Amino acid sequence: MTSLADPDQAMQWLAGLHAFSDPAEQVNVFMQQGKYVDIAWAPVSQLEQLRDPIANFAARGDVYFSVATRWQQLPGKERGGESDCAHIPGLWLDIDIADGTGAHKLANLPPSIQAAAQLVQRFPVTPSAVVRSGHGIQPWWLFAEPLAVAEARPLLHRWQLTWEAMAAEHGWHLDDVSDAARMMRLPGTINYKAEPVVATAKANWQRRQVSDIDDWLLPVSPDKPPGQAPPMHAYTAHLAGHAFNLAVPPGDVLARAGCDSVGIDEDGQEHWHWPGQSHSHGWTVYPPAGDERWAHATCYSETCHRQTGTPLRTPLSAFACLAWLEHGGDFAAARARLVAEGWPDKLAAGLIRPAEAPVGLSVPLAATPAADVAPVEVGWLWRPWLPKAKIVTLDGDPATGKSTMVLDLAARITTGGLMPDGTPAGGQGAVVLAAAEDDLADTVVWRLKAAGADLSQVFYIQDDFTIPGDLQRLELLVRQTQAVLVVIDVLYEYLGDGTDSYRDQSVRAALRQVRAMAERTGATVIMLRHFTKAPGSKAIHKGGGSIGVVGAARAGWMVAYHPEDETLRVLAPVKINLAAMPRPQGFRLMPHDTMPCAYVTWTGEVSIGTDALVNPPTMVDNPEEGATVAFAARCLRQCLNDQWQWTDEVMKLLAEWQFSKKTIDRARVILNVEAKQFGPDKTTGHERGWKIRLPQEKAPDDQP
């Protein structure tokens, strides 16, 4: 394990940190291994004396160093309290992350290094250095000259309040950053809290005047308890959120979320109802006080907290309200939205030089060697159509039977029966159904009964809900019912007002949260869409709204009428990311003998190209020409079979019907004809050329 440590990096760190410290003051490094501790000391002028102890410590346990220099070396293994501290070289943060390793027990931590970095990037003064501690980051802002601890106390207090307020807007815990006697992890040593990992540092050693930082900190007001006032510049003057806060009152954001204004009291505080709640203090908007730059809002509604994740009893700016209520707490997505809407953002506009980006947060991205990753097989409810725990899209025109067809699939899953191609369902379980266009009693239940569903395993959502605003409630329902399938029919009926269905970035931000829910619960989510009315599109572009919808899905389907048989509907794959593309499946809707609804009968595989379903000849050309192409397709099917045939010989046969090459090419698209180059053929003397055949489920290794 010793070889993992890097004493050179540790010494470079301490030397850079204390480059301007008093040579006579003392620095200590501290090692902890279970209950065993050890400590080493050296004056600033002789830091090299710590090299060997650091190398020894790093091989045995976790190694830390004191942020502040000490007036003198202390006896035994004492590290000293604040009264023993002389100067601090700068300010620091200690941001732990919930990386799934078990290194940290708290649940309310940033989910990733990237999320922690985004928090740091909200502060307008960029760090001088960043330590990657192994399971978090520790940014540092160094002073031009060390600050006496006695003078630093008010600054450290305001530093703590400012960052606590910013972290609270995300609902995150932040370690104490105001204790002058604080010990921090030493770069170049090993973090043993989980799988051993080396702490590393990246620094440009840029130093600041105290006033450069002090100007941006939360003022301490005697009439407000610590942590209860919003930081004046929490989103900074160079980011879009700052401009948004100055221009938009929090009440406007609450109104967009469906809140109702109750009124304004004598103190100028606005009170709002959360939708569906009667409590007059679900939300309160407080006017700016003193030198505050904008109003802030506080959520007191437990229902809102459960539905959106918004932190309770925490001051939130208008931008923070926007991030929680319309983007599920994704502050980066909220900022990206404001930038796209034209709010001024110097960082996005390139007006902030790259050198000013936080050092250590803009260089080496975390990467995992592929050799260290154990491959995981995808689970299937219906292979290869319905992957488990993924998003699937289903597109089609109204009245093509896509809702009835999906209920047929859902019914099979509730009973664990056979799927349309005769293969067994990959799981049996409950189905959660959101159907905005069909009534439960007079439509949905009849279709389910006709399909043979276990009705006790189908749960129809009757409450109004939005995506992503109510995803937490949806997830609770999925977990409560142990559902394996969620059907959203149709998607755009459920997108929240803050999501633009035609903006790729907006849709992807919402669907990221749907995908995360699917992964957490293991449930597959099918989202239905209507076709766009634009003619001539490829199948993958036919679904209404942004291409980002099908882009976020791992499987995409479509339903359309067969161009040669108006009674036959076709379920065809638009995209499959996790397996080979399956053959389209045909089905018909038949009137039920005893029930007032139609039911699905499956007819088996269909030989037709997916693009030909959305652009059949009768839609592209005039009716007469369309009929000619349809006839050519029937003739071509008669000429072909499942064996390869020379293309020129087939063309000679078709020439007897006097079809043009253009007509034959369109017929080939309808039938999804396969082509392959062969030759020469020694038996027939045929030179090298192309052969064609009807599509096969698996192409055999046959030769001419």
Question: Which two structure tokens, joined as six digits, stand for 396?
Answer: 């089609």
Cis peptide before 616 (omega within 30 of 0): no
Query: What is the Cα–Cα distance from 256 to 326, expressed in whole angstroms?
Result: 9
pLDDT in tens, 201-260: 988 888 888 888 887 777 664 444 444 444 444 435 446 787 888 889 999 999 988 888
Least confident of 71-85, 376-390, 535-549: 535-549
Count CB neighbours of 121 within 10 A.
20
110 or 357, greater pLDDT: 110
The H-or-E segment that residue 679 falls in is none
Cβ–Cβ under 8 Å, residues 273 and 260: yes
Residue 634: predicted pLDDT: 78
Name, in order, each residue with C-beta under 8 angstroms of 103's C-beta and a sequence gap of 6 or more.
Answer: 96, 134, 135, 191, 193, 194
pLDDT in tens, 566-578: 789 999 999 999 9
C-alpha distances (whole Å) from 332 to each of 91, 119, 285, 316, 318 are 25, 9, 24, 16, 15
Query: What is the Cα–Cα distance from 549 to 295, expressed in whole angstroms?
Result: 36
Cis peptide before 311 (omega within 30 of 0): no
Measured in residues, the chain has a length of 704
Alpha carbon 117 to its chain's center: 16
Q: Is the pLDDT of residue 361 over 80?
A: no
Query: What is the Cα–Cα distance from 468 to 497, expressed in whole angstroms?
Result: 10
Residue 292: predicted pLDDT: 67
Residue 696: predicted pLDDT: 66
Q: In sequence order, what DSSP letters do the residues of 394-422 get, joined into one string?
A: EEE-TTSSHHHHHHHHHHHHHHT-B-TTS
Strand partners, 435: 489
Residue 394: predicted pLDDT: 96
Q: Is the pLDDT of residue 367 over 70?
A: no
Q: Is the pLDDT of residue 397 over 80?
A: yes
404 or 274, greater pLDDT: 404
Name the residue with tokens 């060390």.
146
CATH class of 2-214: alpha beta
Residue 224: predicted pLDDT: 44
Query: What is the Cα–Cα distance from 522 to 389, expressed in whole angstroms?
Result: 4
Q: What percentage of the chain carries pLDDT values higher than 70?
A: 88
189 or 648, greater pLDDT: 189
3-state helix, strand, coil in the chain (%, to 5): 35, 25, 45
Average pLDDT, the chain: 83
Q: Is the pLDDT of residue 194 over 90?
A: no
C-alpha distances (whole Å) from 353 to each of 9, 345, 358 are 28, 13, 11
Query: What is the Cα–Cα distance from 485 to 212, expressed in whole angstroms?
Result: 54
Q: pTM for the complete prediction? A: 0.46
Residue 510: predicted pLDDT: 86
Question: Which two structure tokens, joined as six digits, stand for 371?
Answer: 């050799």
Give 266: exposed, middle or buried? Use CB within 10 Å, 0-12, 13-18, 19+: exposed
Categorize the per-residue pLDDT at 703 as very low, low, confident or very high, splitting at 50, 70 and 90. Answer: very low
Phi, psi torsion values for 605, nearest 5 degrees: -65, 150
Where are the strands (E) in 322-455, listed by range? 380-382, 386-387, 391-396, 430-435
DSSP letter assigned to residue 46? G
Query: What is the Cα–Cα distance from 336 to 340, expressed in whole angstroms?
Result: 6
Residue 453: predicted pLDDT: 97
Query: What is the Cα–Cα distance from 157 to 219, expressed in whole angstroms?
Result: 10
312 or 380, greater pLDDT: 380
Count CB neighbours of 442 within 10 A.
10
- The top-scoring range by mean pLDDT among 396-410, 536-550, 612-626 is 396-410
Cis peptide before 384 (omega within 30 of 0): yes
Least confident of 172-181, 226-235, 316-325, 563-572: 226-235
Q: What is the mean pLDDT of residues 34-63?
A: 92
Give 354: exposed, middle or buried? Use CB within 10 Å, 0-12, 13-18, 19+: exposed
- Return the amino acid letter for 18: H
End-to-end CA distance of the chain: 63
Q: Is the pLDDT of residue 627 over 80?
A: no
State the sign of the Cα–Cα–Cα–Cα dihedral 464, 470, 476, 479.
positive
Task: List the one residue out of 555, 561, 499 whose CA is nearest residue 531.
Answer: 561
513 or 122, greater pLDDT: 513
pLDDT in tens, 466-518: 998 888 889 889 999 999 999 999 999 999 887 888 877 778 888 988 998 99
Pairing verdict, β 36-43 and 26-33: antiparallel
CATH class of 380-606: alpha beta
Q: What is the mean pLDDT of residues 136-147?
A: 93
DSSP letter assigned to residue 249? -
161 or 141, greater pLDDT: 141
Categorize the per-residue pLDDT at 545 as very low, low, confident or very high, splitting at 50, 70 and 90. Answer: confident
In our burial notation (b when 16+ CB lie closer than 10 A, e otherwise), range 471-508 reads bbbbbebbeebebbbbbbbbbbebbbebbbbebeebbb
Torsion of CA 389, 392, 398, 402, to 10 degrees: -60
Phi, psi torsion values for 30, nearest 5 degrees: -130, 130
Categorize the per-residue pLDDT at 90 as very low, low, confident or very high, splitting at 50, 70 and 90. Answer: very high
Q: What is the mean pLDDT of residues 157-165?
A: 84
Report the largest interatomic distance among the alpha carbons of the chain, rounded to a whole angstrom.
106
Query: What is the Cα–Cα distance from 128 to 359, expressed in whole angstroms?
Result: 7
- Return the amino acid letter for 596: P
Categorize the per-residue pLDDT at 95 as very low, low, confident or very high, splitting at 50, 70 and 90. Answer: very high
Strand partners, 202: 130
pLDDT in tens, 656-681: 777 777 788 777 777 777 777 776 76
Q: Is the pLDDT of residue 533 over 80?
A: no
